[in-house]
Structure 1
Amino acid sequence: MAETIRPTGLDAQGFMEREGSLARVADAFRPAVAAARDRLLDVFGGRLHSAYLYGSIPRGTARVGRSDLDLLVALREEPTGADRDAVLSLSAAVDGEFPQVDGVGTLLYGKERLLSDLERHDLGWFVACLCTPLLGDDLAAQLPRYRPDSLLARETNGDLARWLPHWRERISAAEDTEEARRPLVRFLSRHLVRTGFTLVMPRWQGWTSDLREMAEVFAAFYPQRGAQLRRAAEHGYEPVGDSDVLRTYTDDLGPWLATEYARVHGVKAPRPED
């Protein structure tokens, strides 16, 4: 195996450290974060259990005008269709008002699902390790600490085979323009890079959210596919509207990665919505 990046993201006991903090939010993004926080309180009031930031903004790596604002909201009960509509409206309003963010995405769940046994090593891990508390009582206090093991790999990204048909449908339904394809390339690139990384994460024994680092770690274990994942990492940051890129993802890299993932870690436990 070629020399790889030294493992990071773990504490002295080998547990994954939580990434991000409100202190790392750049001044340019603070007004958008404050607006989102206040409007979540206005919309949900006492039904809101907690809210979190995740992604590049709380990690301090966001680019003005290029990075999106990512939120996770936990309600005290399961969200309704009206709740999801309200979150979509809130996200669109904040996105339209603050040009320093390029899109606002909000995940919405009930507290009990986030704390459930089924989600312990997926959404639970996500809250405990990748989310920065913004409002309310931090659910991480009710969740375990995590190691970068095969169970975590399986339950976070072991469902790629189920996603591939949906991706093909989305690509077929999209307009035949570079502008329409560019967001798809960005989304699929990031998903594939993260899946490639978690495939080798238990062997590497570390964590990173940097796409380029993820690709380099993967390439050290799968050099024959390394160039593909490196390109995908670049497209995750600077997407192109190229139909050939999408075709490669759904017909070559994606199927290979899904098969290898199932061989190494198994398949993610089905969720009710599956």
Structure 2
Amino acid sequence: MNTEGSSGGGGEGGVTTTNTKGAQSMIPTFPLAESWVWAQIKAEAHRDAEEEPALASFLYATVLSHPSLVRSLAFHLANQLCSPTLLSTLLYDLFLHSFSSAPSLLSDTVADLLAARQRDPVCHSFSHCLLYFKGFLALQAHRAAHLLWAQGRRPLALVLQSRVADVFGVDIHPAARVGCGVLLDHATGIVVGETSIIGDNVSILHHVTLGGTGDRHPKIGDGVLVGAGATILGNVRVGEEAKVGAGAVVLIDVPPKTTAVGNPARFVGGTGSPVGHEDLPGLNLDHNLWSDYVI
């Protein structure tokens, strides 16, 4: 993970991926991925407008009238997060400047769109993620807020945090560092504290808390899956490609490729010799075996 928000995208070729629906697809690597994803979004919006004329004006305003993904995202976020005293025009300029001035933010956005499309079985199009998935929208607003925080514009960053919490029910402190290709699935009730770090290709479900006790907040490694309702407290580290089961309360470090379940959380196979797994939980969102584990 690049903690400054860069996704470290690849060259001009492509990668073959298999999504949660079992279908393989060839997706170009960044920077070609941005134009490819934007073309997909526009085509999907055209299709939806034809199939459902009641949405035509909405889709024109949010997608089809814009020349780029950056402008569409800035417009949609601004209109979602505005209030009578926080104007959409101000927020539009803010988001547009943030994503335009820091190209790594846009590459992270594209990675997040790809993550949702590939991992979430109910995400049937990129446009649906962009327009309707509040976990994705909350994360993009956080990326802008984090940039403001790093620039010393902390009152404005905190305003964005507050609006995201009010509108989407997701509370991420603007100082928290989040990698690329992150999926916030359902997202309701997610809380991420100030000194938290979330790696690349992490999947987090609803009502997850990365909270502080004593020496502050958790550090989540790349490729981790955090199940619904899990609570991770303190300056603990969840190793790369580990799993945290639904409802688990984690107070200690979790080794890489290890599964932690229960309250308080214990490791599958026992603390002394935890059983590792070979899958990529953050990418495949495999919850199926948790009920079979013996601890």
Q: Give the TM-score normalised by the residue count of structure 2.
A: 0.30
Q: Give the TM-score normalised by the residue count of structure 1.
A: 0.31
Which has the larger strand fraction? 2
Which has the larger helix fraction? 1
